[in-house]
């Protein structure tokens, strides 16, 4: 695990080759088909050489949750174990890792018509109206969310309306999934090196055609609550396409947002994975072979 741009994928490929194993991608954006450049998705050649799972799992406008990812990842891991392989779980989405190793409450799926109704309400009355409704339906969850967090407010309302039980009540239930005991390695990179690496990568992605990918995403006409619209880089480039800012500003804002995201990831893994082994690429590679 580790922050974006630290080189997790390259390290995982070296270890996977040496141990003849597979990779389970723990990334909340690489799940979606069509989002390749901006998500730093594994290249076709890499996926041909080493089996990669939990990549290109769904088409937009479908969406994933941490619980859904963890449930499907467990199936993959069990299958790989049966084949005599110990797969590498690789990525930077800490909440997905937690859902896998600790288990999440099994919340029933939302009803599509319910989400459509709340999406229509959001477009008509705005997120503030949704938040006021959530305060009435699930006050405990409303206290935990920011008033402008459209994605999570929408999720809480959809769960409540679809299941007849509040999201806060569902989250208090113990998960039926058995916790997974596995070592966690966090790849660390010096802050200034990572900052420059993220800027260089952003520019390289732009040269590779990222803006065309964002145009395609814009054509999908996704609801504002969809998580991919909040992904760093995509959000800023969408602002450019919508005429809100100039391209130069979008790139600058995107680099800044990516750096802030990386900083949050670093903080998360330090605070939420206290038993993890931290180190640079060479150090972790030696430990992982063991």
Do 151 and 183 belong to one domain? Answer: no
The rounded distance, in Å, linking the Cα atoms of 226 and 151 is 6
Beta-carbon contacts of 29 under 8 Å, excluding residues fewer than 6 positions away, are: 35, 38, 39, 228, 231
**Is 189 in the same domain as 260?**
yes
Q: Which of 153, 172, 191 is the last residue of a domain?
A: 172
Instruction: Find the mean pLDDT for residues 120-135.
Output: 91
189 with 255, same domain: the answer is: yes
- H-assigned helices in 138-190: 139-144, 150-163, 167-172
**Does the pLDDT of residue 290 top 60, yes or no?**
no
**Co-location of 162 and 280 in the same domain:** no
Q: What is the pLDDT of residue 176?
A: 60
CATH number at residue 217: 3.40.50.300
Lowest mean pLDDT among 82-91, 96-105, 222-231: 96-105
1 within domain boundaries? no
> Domain check: are 44 and 188 in the same one?
yes
On average, the pLDDT of the chain sits at: 92
Residues 253 and 183 occupy one common structural domain = yes
Nearest one of 80, 96, 78, 98 to 29, comparing CA atoms = 96
Kindly state the average pLDDT of the residues 84-113: 87
Is residue 2 one of the residues assigned to a domain? no
Q: Are residues 79 and 51 in the same domain?
A: yes
Instruction: Give the β-pairing of 185-187 and 277-279.
Output: parallel
pLDDT at 95 exceeding the cut of 70: yes
Q: Which of 176, 174, 177, 136 is nearest to 156 (CA)?
A: 136
* Residue 191 sits in the same domain as residue 242: yes
Q: What is the pTM of this model?
A: 0.80
Task: Check residue 106 and give its pLDDT.
Answer: 67
Looking at the domain assignment, is residue 250 inside a domain?
yes
Q: pLDDT tens-digit profile of 189-218?
A: 999 999 999 999 999 999 999 999 999 999
Instruction: Write b or e for each residue in 56-65: b if 16 or more Cβ atoms lie within 10 A of its Cβ, otherwise e.
Output: bbeebeebbb
Residues 128, 134, 139, CA angle at the centre, nearest 5°? 125
Phi, psi dihedral angles at 32 (to 5 degrees): -95, 130
pLDDT of residue 178: 66
One domain for residues 167 and 269: no
Report the pLDDT averaged over residues 53-82.
94
For residue 127, the enclosing domain spans 112-172
User: Is the pLDDT confidence value at 175 over 70?
Assistant: no
State the total domains in the chain: 2
Answer yes or no: do 186 and 54 share one domain: yes
| Encoded tokens for 223 | 């609801």
How far apart CA 36 and CA 228 sit, in angstroms, is: 12
Asked if the bond preceding 94 is cis, omega within 30° of 0, the reply is: no
Instruction: Decide if 3 is inside a domain.
Output: no
Task: Based on the fold, state whether residues 165 and 28 are members of the same structural domain.
Answer: no
In a domain, 59, yes or no: yes
State the angle between helix axes of 234-241 and 210-219 in degrees (0 to 180), rounded to the nearest 10.
70
What CATH number has the domain bearing residue 133? 1.10.20.140
């Amino acid at each position: 695990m580790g922050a974006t741009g630290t080189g997790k994928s390259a390290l995982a490929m070296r270890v996977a080759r040496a141990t003849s194993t597979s990779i389970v991608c723990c990334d909340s954006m690489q799940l979606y088909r069509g989002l390749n450049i901006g998500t730093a998705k594994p290249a076709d050649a890499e996926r041909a050489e080493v089996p990669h799972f939990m990549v290109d799992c769904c088409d937009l406008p479908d969406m994933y949750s941490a619980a859904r990812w963890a449930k499907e990842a467990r199936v993959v891991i069990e299958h790989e174990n049966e084949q005599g392989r110990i797969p590498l779980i690789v990525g930077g989405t800490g909440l997905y890792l937690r859902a896998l190793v600790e288990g999440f409450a099994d919340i029933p799926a939302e009803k599509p018509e319910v989400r459509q109704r709340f999406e229509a309400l959001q477009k008509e009355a705005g997120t503030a109206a949704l938040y006021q409704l959530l305060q009435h339906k699930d006050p405990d969850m409303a206290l935990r969310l920011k008033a402008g967090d459209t994605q999570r407010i929408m999720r809480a309302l959809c769960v409540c309306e679809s299941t007849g039980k509040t999201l806060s009540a569902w989250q208090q239930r113990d998960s039926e999934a058995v916790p997974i005991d596995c070592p966690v390695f966090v790849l660390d990179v010096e802050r200034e090196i990572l900052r420059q690496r993220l800027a260089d990568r952003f520019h390289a992605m732009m040269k590779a055609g990222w803006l065309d990918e964002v145009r395609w995403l814009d054509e999908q006409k996704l609801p504002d609550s969809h998580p991919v619209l909040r992904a760093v880089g995509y959000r800023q480039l969408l602002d450019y396409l919508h005429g809100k800012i100039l391209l130069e500003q979008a790139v600058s804002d995107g680099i800044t947002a990516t750096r802030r995201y990386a900083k949050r990831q670093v903080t998360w893994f330090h605070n939420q994975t206290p038993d993890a082994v931290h180190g640079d690429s060479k150090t972790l590679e030696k430990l992982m072979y063991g």
